[in-house]
Amino acid sequence: MIEIEVKVRASHSLLREKLAIMGAKPEGIQKHLDTYYNSPLRDFSTTDEALRIRSVNGRSVLTYKGKKLDSISKTRPEFETEVDGDSARSILVALGFFESGIVRKKREIFSCQGMIIALDSVEGIGEFIEVEKQAETNIEEHRNQIFEFLESLGIRKEDSIRTSYLEMVLEKEK
Amino acid sequence: MIEIEVKVRASHSLLREKLAIMGAKPEGIQKHLDTYYNSPLRDFSTTDEALRIRSVNGRSVLTYKGKKLDSISKTRPEFETEVDGDSARSILVALGFFESGIVRKKREIFSCQGMIIALDSVEGIGEFIEVEKQAETNIEEHRNQIFEFLESLGIRKEDSIRTSYLEMVLEKEK
């Protein structure tokens, strides 16, 4: 499965109003505690990969994200499975992976026109909107739909950022 | 959690009778498809570690087993979590792990005196009994209880084997 995702820094108060007018459906609010791991084999911060255990409301999900496939969005292969958080952590550490950083955020989720919209408040970093589609083919078409949708919210394609929350958190901690 | 485990090659027909007489409780029969993975970092066949995805009745479990802690049983640290099998496979391969072998077996499970007893019929390899306890402390005491239990089944401590099913399967395929 390919995750096609665009992220932009944006204040939420205005976006919430616009999403309501467009008929976006609220899908709930989640608190994420994301622990990222790096590999003993290659540095994920240079290979552009990510390995994460996300804890949400007592459930944990292990996710691997591969290299980004283009230069203007965050489109990339992604695999994920629900896990027992403590056991998955122990397995990763036993296999040589090590914790590289923690991201805490509140995510307000909406669905609209076949897309998932997330209003993310990232601890210490600020407010963002992420729009995501999942697809196997026609990646470019799906990506363009996302950019058109963002335009209708008053957000420009050029403002799309590819820096991860983890990179922002680590940059701030320097 | 430490898994204290003893394995012995033994014909099942006689053991089933003895277990019934001892009041062992049948806990069901499972068909295991075990896929083992090796690491790009160190060879698990020499470090004595194991990384496995076990599929049982449509459910998958990811297990890591560390080095054995003594020379007479299969006692070792073990971590496991239920996973989505396909996603977990994709994650392991993306992280550089590679398939090292497959073990298919039928496992008939009993519980008795705080122990789990498995009568394993391993495809192409033969019949075995495995007796297991899980503990955090007093490893030696628990191990001795297992050996006493096996003695009561007419099985000698000296016949305990530490070779894994995977090693046997790979040896046979040579």
Q: Which residues of A touch B77 (CB under 8 A)?
A: 94
Whether the CA torsion B35, B41, B43, B44 is positive or negative: it is negative
ipTM greater than 0.95: no
**Cβ–Cβ < 8 Å for A35, A52:** yes
CA A165/CA A102 separation, integer angstroms: 9
**pLDDT at residue A134 in the model:** 86
Q: What is the mean pLDDT of residues B40-58?
A: 94
Q: Is residue A7 left, alpha or beta, with left meaning phi > 0 and alpha meaning psi from -120 to 50? A: beta
Predicted confidence (pLDDT) per residue in B75-128, tens digit: 788 999 999 999 999 999 999 999 999 999 999 999 999 999 999 999 999 999
Average pLDDT across chain A, whole number = 93
Lowest-confidence pick of A117-126, A137-146, B80-89, B121-130: A137-146
Mutation pick from A41, A78, A79 vs chain B, by most beta carbons of B within 10 Å, is A79
pLDDT band at residue B132, thresholds of 50, 70 and 90? very high
CB contact under 8 A, B91 and A62: yes
Task: Look over chain B and give the mean of its residue pLDDT values, rounded to a whole number.
Answer: 93
pLDDT at residue B77, as a whole number? 86
pLDDT score of A75 more than 80? no
CA–CA separation, B75 and B137 (whole Å): 12
Q: How far is B134 from chain A (nearest CA, A)?
A: 15
* Reported confidence tier of residue B173, pLDDT bands at 50, 70, 90: confident
Three-state DSSP string of A2-15: EEEEEEEECCHHHH
> Of the candidates A81, A91, A94, which has its C-beta nearest B87's C-beta?
A81
Q: In the structure encoding, which two tokens stand for residue A39, read together?
A: 């590999």
Whether B91 and A49 lie within 8 Å, measured CB to CB: no
pLDDT for residue B137: 85
Q: How confident is the model at residue A110 (pLDDT cuts 50, 70, 90)?
A: very high
**What integer pLDDT is reported at residue B150 of this predicted model?**
96
CA distance readout (Å), A154 to A88, A122, A132, A157: 41, 22, 17, 10
Give yes or no for B120 touching A (CB within 8 A). no
Share of chain A above pLDDT 70, in %: 98
Q: What is the pLDDT of residue A2?
A: 79
Interface of A with B in 138-167 (CB under 8 A): none
Q: Does the beta carbon of B2 lie under 8 angstroms from any beta carbon of chain A? A: no
Q: pTM above the 0.80 mark?
A: yes
Say whether pLDDT at B152 is over 80.
yes
Q: Which residues of B touch A77 (CB under 8 A)?
A: 94
Chain segment A7-44, per-residue pLDDT in tens:
999 999 999 999 999 999 999 999 999 999 999 999 99
**Residues 6+ away with beta carbon under 8 Å from A86:** none
Give the separation between CA A11 and CA A108, rounded to whole angstroms. Answer: 13
- The pLDDT assigned to B3 comes to 81
The structure tokens listed for A82 are 């629900």
Higher-scoring residue by pLDDT: B132, B134: B132
Whole-number pLDDT of residue A94: 96
Q: Is the dihedral angle over the CA atoms A88, A90, A96, A101 positive or is it negative?
A: positive
Using DSSP, state whether A164 is helix, strand or coil: coil
Task: Band the pLDDT of B44: cuts 50, 70, 90.
Answer: very high
Residue B149 distance to chain A (closest CA, Å): 30
B138: left (phi over 0), alpha (psi -120 to 50) or beta: left
